[in-house]
Amino acid sequence: MRNEKEIKNTSKSLLVSSLAVLRKSMDHVPSALTVHYGLHGDSFFPVFEFRYRSAKGAFAEPMKQYYIAINGELKECDSTTPDPIELIKNYEENIRIRRSNVNPTWSKVLPIDSAYPDPVSEWFRFDYELDRLIESNTEEGVKSLVLTCISEAICYSAAHALVNPPGRGSENRHLIAWFVNVAGKDCVEEISLETLRPDSTSDSNLAVDLGHLCPPRCK
């Protein structure tokens, strides 16, 4: 962060059962969930926004209503909650990112109008990503979807990656990932993505993230 403090509370949990009830109560059937990066004090404080398939055919039209996570449930933002726009603004203005593991320099979040902007929000589809992740981890117990901060050295320019030697053109970015928690146990294991897995367990004990070149820019 700008004041050289380490960001805290880098994970948020959502109860699967509560999320399901909220989705069913909406006028439009939500097809995806956007996570806007937010900051409250020195804590990661994401702002959530549902998306739906519009009648005009757009895959994921934002519903333009913000939520925050409180005690495992999404609460609609109002006068009693932190201002969602301020949370997003605080993140963009105060977070600092160490681009290289060998260079101690920290830099500001790169804005949307820069050549290679930093991601400050990502959206995840329910059918292909979040629901599939939940269904692939069918153990008994109370389930939560856990959103956590991750960092990975990626290159946001395919052309830049091709013309530079391996390792050139990539730099650390602040990213996010989802995994499932069952009865207090995180369903994440260290396994190579090259390991052959049956389709029925394709997302078992794995996380959903957008930590590579295409998804953040190609959806």
Per-residue pLDDT 10s for the chain (219 aa) are 665 678 899 999 999 999 999 999 999 899 999 999 999 999 999 999 999 987 776 667 899 999 999 999 999 999 999 999 999 999 999 999 888 777 778 889 988 888 778 889 999 999 888 998 888 876 666 689 999 998 777 766 555 555 555 544 677 888 899 988 888 888 876 554 444 445 545 556 667 765 444 444 444
pTM score: 0.83
Rounded to 5°, angle at Cα 147 from 145 and 152? 135
Q: Is there a domain that residue 133 lies in? A: yes
Domain count, the chain: 1
Q: Is there a domain that residue 54 lies in? A: yes
Q: Is there a domain that residue 84 lies in? A: yes
Whole-number Å distance between alpha carbons of 169 and 53: 36
Q: Which domain holds residue 193?
A: 11-218
Q: Is there a domain that residue 1 lies in? A: no
Backbone angles phi, psi at 36, to 5 degrees: -95, 130
Q: Is there a domain that residue 3 lies in? A: no
Q: What is the DSSP letter of 128?
A: I
